[in-house]
Structure 1
């Protein structure tokens, strides 16, 4: 709350009033910076832990080599539950839609670009180098990518260029980059406002549905039909955060959920596959997708403002580096603990998560914290 000071002048009795003095300039009214949504930081970490549970105990493949047998045998009760953890990616995309709309509102294209690059790249570069170096060790059973492909991975464009990936999770970053590009060109460049954001949401959803029907690879690449509803749903929830009575924001969110759950079920329902690692049910998939939308909605409406603990900010800061390194390096830790030291499965799982969180803290403390603001400052300079 600001106070406006009104100054009055008086004239002495018996003297003529002079010409009125020019009005003093109105005091600058400063808007308080919006409080950090710490519950959103906590939700980020929950989504990352969901993905980690999937990579450690909810799928087959390379993680079987790490454990020495299928995670079905390591976690006979929990492996089916862990298999739903892959939907943490969809939860991330809803959060991303919310956060990118919030951070892009009122920003120039240069500022938006600097913010995104400085946020993504420092930890990513170090993670690529670290995983490449670890996989090149003779004691590690996993194959390292070629030097050429490792260098291409530093651009974050390895997927469209057809290079082998160093980080298994980097496919989601390629999805994020395309979302940033669409949002920057359609919203940030002309200037974000409610009408433009709504047109972007409606236009992207409709175009994505048309792309799905057209079966045109280029349209699929640009419009990402299977992921667009999650980003758009997050954007709709940011409009609700600005005004909970925004009927159009609620409408965008509802339609996005309905379309998004359809894609999630179509991609992940595998009851007809007798060789599936675990059989996810339609209801289970829909419930996890609903959890992502409802959780972000609760934050948008302020229902979780009570969750204002400072450690949640730390949790949010650790989420991205944890997400980058947890998969492949986690498998190396699992192999060392479980097969090398014969640590029980449950303890190995917990210790691996803890080790990856510690590594994430080191990346945040010694890479992101010093380099992100410097990189942002360099990229924000206009000539």
Structure 2
């Protein structure tokens, strides 16, 4: 997917291509884009960027539904769990790591400098710090900070990949199912305690733990990867039923409630448990759509050549769009505001510029960088193999 959250270009098993998943992936990216640009940076008056748009009224749609656009990230993680099972079940250790490196790094190497320039333009960082954060980001070092806040999701993905890689290396690929069960239970307990803590003691939804510990320890998002893993086992016939899936979905639901409470605390909007009904419903609808997409892929492949081509383009565009949208998007918004663009016109221009730029990255720039990274990886892997063979 070349998407936020899980950059896997092609979801395939045998000759099956899941066009419906590409559409879901792109839709999830749009949800996150609207949340960050429409709500987090613009409508939310406590945002660090609120001063940039103080004289521009926010469209009404941002007040009604854009505030829960963060749900796109959770959807990405479910897709990731499914996709990585697809890849790991077919690859050995070297090939699996290679596939992750070739998927993750090219777009990052192209987009990170753009985000750096935007951050400097917004006054978020100076040149020296910006260059340092850019180089750090280009290595995909999994600890905060990065040149753009959105890279926290890639940090979670990298830890997930590391777990899967370890299972493959040890010849214990089947352990991924047990791992999914464990993280589902951990996520269930953590989020239940977080909800109780907020409702009973009006405390922080993080239970006082650093966000990086919660995220990289899969305490909050582990169940979403687990849902994708369980779904893969069901669709491929490796499991006839999965009661563990129900536990994971419950854990996901609790995380969505926690997220609503957390956003309410952070923004001062005071969202409560009742406000989580719509985000939970959207997530469940997306999950049902994902199941249909991978269970009956012919429903989408039979929709015509044009649809399939557009779905693939949307899927490839998603990853660079996710990496670009926040810092570069806010910079574009401030730029258009400074030259007199208003509300809906401004956000529409920003949307088309971001999608267009992401398309250029995915179709023309990323493949060139990916080819070179792939060649370098193959050279290093071959050298190490021969070195090990000679030493043996």
TM-score, normalised via structure 2 length: 0.77
| Contact 1:334–1:349 under 8 Å retained in 2 | yes
| SS of the residue 2:349 aligns to | helix
Change (3 A) 1:377 1:208: farther
Change (3 A) 1:134 1:106: same
Question: Would you say 1:179 and 2:160 are equivalent positions?
Answer: yes
Question: Would you say 1:252 and 2:244 are equivalent positions?
Answer: yes
Cα distance in 1 for partners of 2:137, 2:262 equals 32
Change (3 A) 1:84 1:129: same
Question: Would you say 1:205 and 2:187 are equivalent positions?
Answer: no
- Paired residue for 2:15? 34
How many residue pairs are counted as aligned between the two chains? 340
Cα distance in 1 for partners of 2:178, 2:130 equals 44
Structure 1 segments unaligned to the other structure (5+ residues): 1-31
1:359 to 357, 375, 386: 357
Cα distance in 1 for partners of 2:146, 2:32 equals 18
Cα distance in 2 for partners of 1:142, 1:242 equals 47
- Paired residue for 2:25? 44
Structure 2 segments unaligned to the other structure (5+ residues): 1-12, 194-206, 386-392
- Paired residue for 1:328? 327
Cα distance in 2 for partners of 1:342, 1:261 equals 42
Question: Would you say 1:122 and 2:106 are equivalent positions?
Answer: yes
Deviation for aligned residue 1:352: 0.7
Cα distance in 1 for partners of 2:266, 2:14 equals 54
| Contact 1:211–1:219 under 8 Å retained in 2 | no
Deviation for aligned residue 1:220: 4.6
Once the two structures are superposed, the pairs formed by residues 1-383 of structure 1 within 5 Å of their partners are 33-59=14-40, 60=44, 61-69=47-55, 73-137=57-121, 140-144=122-126, 145-157=129-141, 160=143, 162=144, 164-187=145-168, 189-190=170-171, 192-193=173-174, 196-206=175-185, 220=214, 223-243=217-237, 246-248=240-242, 251-269=243-261, 276-277=268-269, 279=271, 281-302=275-296, 304-305=299-300, 306-307=302-303, 309-337=308-336, 339-380=337-378, 381-382=381-382, 383=385
Change (3 A) 1:58 1:319: same
Cα distance in 1 for partners of 2:140, 2:264 equals 35
TM-score, normalised via structure 1 length: 0.79
| Contact 1:318–1:364 under 8 Å retained in 2 | yes
| SS of the residue 2:148 aligns to | coil
Cα distance in 1 for partners of 2:71, 2:157 equals 16
- Paired residue for 1:26? none
| SS of the residue 1:243 aligns to | coil
| Contact 1:240–1:300 under 8 Å retained in 2 | no
| SS of the residue 2:326 aligns to | helix
Deviation for aligned residue 1:292: 3.0
Cα distance in 2 for partners of 1:188, 1:204 equals 21
Deviates more, 1:58-67 or 1:326-335: 58-67
Cα distance in 1 for partners of 2:52, 2:213 equals 38
Change (3 A) 1:282 1:109: same
- Deviations, residues 326-383 of structure 1 (Å, cap 9, x unaligned): 111111111122x223223112112111100111112113331122233234324432
Q: Superposition RMSD on alpha carbons, in Å? A: 2.9
Change (3 A) 1:271 1:103: closer
Cα distance in 1 for partners of 2:136, 2:264 equals 38
Deviation for aligned residue 1:142: 3.9
Cα distance in 2 for partners of 1:221, 1:279 equals 22
Cα distance in 2 for partners of 1:341, 1:215 equals 43
Cα distance in 1 for partners of 2:372, 2:264 equals 52
Cα distance in 2 for partners of 1:219, 1:282 equals 24
**Which structure features the higher share of helix residues?**
2
Larger-Rg structure: 1
Deviation for aligned residue 1:237: 1.0
Cα distance in 1 for partners of 2:170, 2:359 equals 34
| Contact 1:106–1:191 under 8 Å retained in 2 | no
| Contact 1:102–1:238 under 8 Å retained in 2 | yes
Deviation for aligned residue 1:225: 1.3
